[in-house]
Amino acid sequence: MLSREFYNVVHILGIILLMSSLGGVALHAMNGGTSANNRSRRFTATLHGLGAACILVGGFGMLARIGFTHGEMFPPWLLVKLMVWILLAAAPFLPYQRPHLARWLMLGLPALGGVAAFMGIYKPV
Ligand code: HEM
């Protein structure tokens, strides 16, 4: 049986993968790059997908280890984290569709990541 600590490492690894790929895409768009002329598109998309998957696997793995059962209602702190995950999972399209928002994505990464981390660590609600 895989431990809570193992899932925590998978969770953090996923966050690092996802953040680094989104940072790369945002910088490319800030420098005037488009989706078509991004020669590392497949690479960053792979890192992003892998990261998003690791966050979920690690997160749900930890949930199972801390005693959550199937069918149990998700507490608010977890719903906030899931919303952050959805936003960051959908984020790679943003800098290409709206290049002027690429800078905001770069700033939004630590802000959203910070909110999700706060929710996981303090569980205020
Ligand atoms: C991009 C979004 C997310 C970020 C940045 C994030 C970040 C974090 C961080 C920094 C921790 C603390 C790890 C530690 O204890 O050292 C944590 C814990 C946790 N996260 Fe996330 N998380 C995200 C999304 C999710 C999602 C989608 C889930 C649910 C599937 C989830 C479930 C958990 C759980 C269960 C914990 C452990 C809580 C505990 O220790 O009792 N997280 N998260």
State the total domains in the chain: 1
Contact 82 CB / ligand 1 (< 6 Å): yes
Contact 84 CB / ligand 1 (< 6 Å): yes
pLDDT of residue 125: 87
Residue 65 predicted with pLDDT over 90: yes
With b for 16 or more beta-carbon neighbours within 10 A and e for fewer, the 67-94 pattern comes to eeeeeeeeeebbebbeebbeebbebbeb
- Band of pLDDT at residue 43, cut at 50, 70 and 90: very high
116 and 84 Cβ atoms separated by less than 8 Å: yes
pLDDT tens-digit profile of 9-33?
999 999 999 999 999 999 999 999 9
Contact 50 CB / ligand 1 (< 6 Å): no
Domain interval for residue 37: 4-122
Contact 7 CB / ligand 1 (< 6 Å): no
Alpha carbon distance 119, 74 (integer Å): 13
pLDDT of residue 114: 98
In 3D space, the residue among 99, 81, 93 whose CA is nearest the CA of residue 31 turns out to be 99
Q: What element of type H or E holds 38? A: none
Residue-averaged pLDDT of the chain: 95
